Amino acid sequence: MARHVVGFGEEDLRALAGVRSFDRGLGYLDAVSGLEVGDGSVTATVHGTDVYEVELTLRDGIGVSGWCDCPYGQEGNFCKHCVAVGLTVLRQSEAIPRQRAAARARASRLEAWLTALSRDQLLALVREQIGEDRELRRRLELRAAAAHSDTGAVRDRILVLIDPRPFARYGYVEYADAARYARQVEEAADALRALASRGLAAQAVGLAEEAIRALGRAYEEVDDSDGVVGQAVGAVSEAHLEACSVARPDPDRLAEWLVGQALGDWNDAADLDPLDYADVLGPTGLARMRQLAAEARRRRPNGWAERYRMERLVKAEGDVDALVALYAKDLVPSGATHLRIAEELEAAGRADEALAWAERGLRDTAAEAHVDGRLADYVCTRYTQAGRTAETVAVRHDRFRVERSLVAYQQLRAAARTAGCWESTREAALAVLGEDACRDRGAGYRGPVLLDALLDDGDLDAAWREAVGRADDRQWQWLADLSRERRPADALAVYLRLIEPLKEPTGDRVYERMAQLLLKARDCHQAMGTEAEFTAQLADLRAELKRRRKLMTLLDRHGL
């Protein structure tokens, strides 16, 4: 009945939140207050570590979605607070239709009342609201200043909006206050756009540059873990670009400002890309910008910002040879720069030169253990397209001998199968991994790559032989999972051994892992026809851990 009325049920909340968050939400039912049901949404307050605002959106045929201003919720997750509000709604489901009807009636009455008011009455209402709400008054003052082209008033208001000090209770803007500060910065961006749209684009350019400088200084004192302030600063930067596109400022002056902004001490907030300004700068501005960037790079040849800006400028000019020469000055050991050069050359239609650079990258990095995997992928893809399968195998074999990883083994296998030489190639590869397994025995917590390769190949008999004394828990479980049907007794022994150390620790993750292992152990007993033995083992486990109520609940949920 509840699901029919509100459009969702407990199972929907559990699916959205996951077992962990759903179980935690059960503990917050008494912390929900201020539940307000609208036509298509529900809002409420949940008292947790802090006071959080929750909104559930209910859509016919789609179900429920949720938003919460807690850190986990702001990352886009359906958090425990959303679960608590959803469960509260389900408990009150019989009252939901009446509350929805009441919400629609309130909205309708408000609309009818506002429509019936005269101009003077509406003005009186607005004046009353701005007298009580300082933030609303400031927003409307800014709109009025922009509408009247009062640049002085707009400037003063923008500086107030981007000033972080009202939010900096302890000398910096805390995470909890960052979103409110970001909203003010976005208002400043809106005001700049409004100014430019009213024929004052040149003034908007100057104000935007002043705002960007101030925001660069302020950003150092903001906990912007979610990036909301950075996005708002980006809106100010976009307003600057839009105003420049209309005002067409002096190219040399704009180039000097952009370079100064990019290389200054306060450049973390606004990431201004010269490519975005290419049309406004024109050939003259781009040339001046490149000159300034080159001078800056001579002063700091290893500076990351100087190198990045120079690359972007050369790319904006479309000179591929100059860009290749620039990249070639700083070839990194991973081969990533060789790959960038190859991609630029290929994009310019120079495929042969691109492949030559990628091949050079493989030669230059032949002895490196950590190489950008995309470089070998690039070369192998081109070789395969050209039917050069033997050379593809050679590249994969060279990387495998250096990396000795499961991924390198898988890539070698795929290439060798295409070339029709996997049987002999596999024998040699396993011999290499076998030498590693003997040499590295007892050297760390991870099992040998040899065992991973055998498991990935599905060679279970060989894997069982190699596992004894070498496999880690991850590999033992992988082996047991693959062997449940053919060797249920051996797989069962593995599961029981893995369950044993889980009896000591506590927590949702531990309990879920124990439940999954028990389900697999049950499959093994069923395959052997020893279900009664499993029932007895499970009863003993429940008796031993009966005080862990959350574990008992989870086992019940899994039918154990």
368: DSSP letter: -
Residues 448 and 504 in one domain: no
Residues 19 and 85 in one domain: yes
Q: How far apart are the first and last CA of the chain?
A: 29
**Can you give the three-state secondary structure of 448-496, one letter per residue?**
CHHHHHHHHHCCHHHHHHHHCCCCCHHHHHHHHHHHCCCCHHHHHHHHH
pLDDT of residue 93: 81
Distance CA 377, CA 410 (A): 13
pLDDT of residue 247: 93
User: What is the percent of the chain with per-residue pLDDT over 70, rounded to a whole number?
Assistant: 93
State the CB neighbour count (10 A cutoff) for residue 550: 12
Distance CA 115, CA 126 (A): 14
DSSP string, 515-559: HHHHHHHHHHHHHHT-HHHHHHHHHHHHHHTTT-HHHHHHHHHTT
Q: Which range has the top average pLDDT, 129-138, 280-289, 344-353, 436-445?
A: 344-353
Distance CA 286, CA 519 (A): 66
Residues 429 and 496 in one domain: no
Please, are residues 491 and 483 in contact by the beta-carbon 8 Å criterion?
Answer: yes
**Predicted confidence (pLDDT) at residue 441 exceeds the cutoff of 60:** no
Is 351 among the domain residues? no
Residue type, 262: A
Ramachandran assignment for 525, one of left (phi > 0), alpha (psi -120 to 50 degrees), beta (any other): alpha
**Predicted confidence (pLDDT) at residue 269 exceeds the cutoff of 90:** no
pLDDT in tens, 109-143: 989 999 999 999 999 998 988 888 877 787 787 77
pLDDT in tens, 173-197: 888 788 888 888 998 998 898 888 8
pLDDT band, residue 445 (cuts 50/70/90): low
**Can you give the three-state secondary structure of 29-49, one letter per residue?**
HHHEEEEEECCCEEEEEEECC
Please, are residues 429 and 456 in contact by the beta-carbon 8 Å criterion?
Answer: no
Residues 141 and 243 in one domain: yes
Q: Which residue, of 471, 495, 524, is where some domain finishes?
A: 471
Helices (H), 198-272: 201-219, 228-247, 251-263
pLDDT of residue 303: 61
Is 37 among the domain residues? yes
Please, are residues 205 and 272 in contact by the beta-carbon 8 Å criterion?
Answer: no
Is 280 among the domain residues? no
Please, are residues 112 and 103 in contact by the beta-carbon 8 Å criterion?
Answer: no
Average pLDDT (50-64) is: 80
Angle at the Cα of 474 from the Cα atoms of 471 and 476, rounded to 5 degrees:
50
Please, are residues 33 and 26 in contact by the beta-carbon 8 Å criterion?
Answer: no
Distance CA 488, CA 483 (A): 7
**Predicted confidence (pLDDT) at residue 429 exceeds the cutoff of 70:** yes
Distance CA 260, CA 267 (A): 9
Q: Which range has the top average pLDDT, 210-219, 233-242, 272-281?
A: 233-242
Q: Which range has the top average pLDDT, 37-41, 228-232, 315-319?
A: 228-232
Residues 16 and 101 in one domain: yes
CA atoms within 13 A on the CB side of 70: 21
**Can you give the three-state secondary structure of 132-149, one letter per residue?**
HCHHHHHHHHHHHHHHCC
Q: Which residue, of 93, 116, 139, is where some domain finishes?
A: 116
pLDDT of residue 398: 92
Average pLDDT (443-451) is: 76
Residue among 261, 262, 253, 242 at smallest CA distance from 312: 262
Residue type, 46: V
Residues 84 and 153 in one domain: no
Q: Which residue, of 249, 268, 287, is where some domain finishes?
A: 249
Is 374 among the domain residues? no
Range of the domain at 222: 117-249
* Residue 554 structure tokens: 């989870």
Q: Where are the beta strands (DSSP E) in 75-137?
A: none
**Predicted confidence (pLDDT) at residue 439 exceeds the cutoff of 80:** no
Please, are residues 323 and 311 in contact by the beta-carbon 8 Å criterion?
Answer: yes
Tokens 């208002």 found at: 187
CA atoms within 13 A on the CB side of 35: 22
Residues 522 and 412 in one domain: no
Please, are residues 482 and 458 in contact by the beta-carbon 8 Å criterion?
Answer: yes
* Residue 258 structure tokens: 């952009």
User: What is the percent of the chain with per-residue pLDDT over 90, rounded to a whole number?
Assistant: 44
* Residue 209 structure tokens: 């540059």
Average pLDDT (26-44) is: 88
Residues 128 and 110 in one domain: no
**Predicted confidence (pLDDT) at residue 77 exceeds the cutoff of 50:** yes
pLDDT band, residue 217 (cuts 50/70/90): confident
State the CB neighbour count (10 A cutoff) for residue 19: 16
Residues 65 and 123 in one domain: no
Is 350 among the domain residues? no
Residue bearing the bigger pLDDT, 290 or 558 = 558
The total of structural domains in the chain comes to 4
* Residue 155 structure tokens: 């400037």
**Predicted confidence (pLDDT) at residue 380 exceeds the cutoff of 80:** yes
Mean pLDDT of the chain: 87
pLDDT in tens, 520-540: 999 999 999 999 999 999 999
pLDDT of residue 444: 47
Residues 175 and 230 in one domain: yes
Distance CA 332, CA 102 (A): 66
Residue bearing the bigger pLDDT, 53 or 76 = 53
pLDDT of residue 62: 67
Residues 107 and 192 in one domain: no
Helices (H), 35-95: 71-74, 80-91
Tokens 């609940």 found at: 553
Is 476 among the domain residues? no
pLDDT in tens, 2-23: 555 567 888 889 989 988 899 8
pLDDT of residue 304: 61
What are the φ/ψ torsions at residue 57 (nearest 5 degrees)? -105, 130
b/e map 403-418, b = 16+ CB within 10 Å: bbbbebbbbbbbbbee
pLDDT in tens, 462-488: 999 999 888 999 999 999 999 999 999
Please, are residues 277 and 309 in contact by the beta-carbon 8 Å criterion?
Answer: no
What are the φ/ψ torsions at residue 485 (nearest 5 degrees)? -80, -45
Distance CA 497, CA 221 (A): 52
Is 369 among the domain residues? no
Residues 61 and 168 in one domain: no
What global pTM score does this model have? 0.56
Average pLDDT (367-377) is: 88
18: DSSP letter: H
pLDDT of residue 309: 66
pLDDT of residue 443: 44
Q: Which of 96-110, 374-388, 408-422 has the lowest mean pLDDT?
A: 96-110
pLDDT band, residue 442 (cuts 50/70/90): very low
Is 307 among the domain residues? no
Residue type, 160: V
Average pLDDT (425-438) is: 90
* Residue 525 structure tokens: 């007993």
Distance CA 349, CA 320 (A): 11
Which H or E run includes 58?
Answer: strand 51-59
